[in-house]
Amino acid sequence: MGKQEVYVLNGPNLKRLGRRQPEIYGSTTHSDLARLLSGWGKDYGLDVRFQQTNHEGEMLDWLNDAADWSWPVVLNAGAWTHYSYALYDACAQLTAPLVEVHISAPSKRPEEFRHTSVITPHAAKVIEGEGIDGYRQALEFIAAQGAH
């Protein structure tokens, strides 16, 4: 039996990790995160497919693929978290676990708009404020759920 496929999807501006507001998002770069995810995936017996986009339609296509293939998803939707009803609808169709991840803790940020997530109603788990380690925790959670 092969490894469980899992999508790790990052939304807008996350390719700028390590350069964008490091006081909030840390110094780990997007490339560093890709390497970490690959290693963590191996540790947990998961085949991680890591993607980032600044284009909402592309994110929707990946979520549709995850729905079609019953793949678990780790999703950091960035700013789309707070207002994208298209992402809300795409997440609603997922049948494998969805883990919502945020490097910072949006619920504790000063901007009121960050306190709402349209992803949370569909998430099996929400991890926020754990920095980059939140992605590892998400993979650990998915691995513990077993093959879907």
CATH number at residue 42: 3.40.50.9100
pLDDT at 22: 59
Is 25 assigned a catalytic role? Answer: yes
Is 44 assigned a catalytic role? Answer: no
Number of domains in the chain: 1
CA atoms within 13 A on the CB side of 81: 30
- Domain span at residue 85 reads 4-145
Q: Which of 7, 25, 88, 135 is catalytic?
A: 25
Largest Cα–Cα distance of the chain, in whole Å?
47
Give the C-alpha separation, 145 to 96, whole Å: 9
Cβ 17 vs Cβ 25: under 8 Å:
yes
Q: Which of 88, 102, 122, 135 is catalytic?
A: 102
Phi, psi of 44 (to 5 degrees): -100, 5
**Residue 70 assigned ligand-binding role:** no
pLDDT at 66: 98
**133-145 helix and 30-43 helix, angle to the nearest 10 degrees:** 30
pTM above 0.85?
Answer: yes
**Residue 82 assigned ligand-binding role:** yes
Run means of pLDDT, 10 residues per run, the chain, 148 residues = 86 78 68 94 96 97 97 96 96 97 79 82 96 96 81
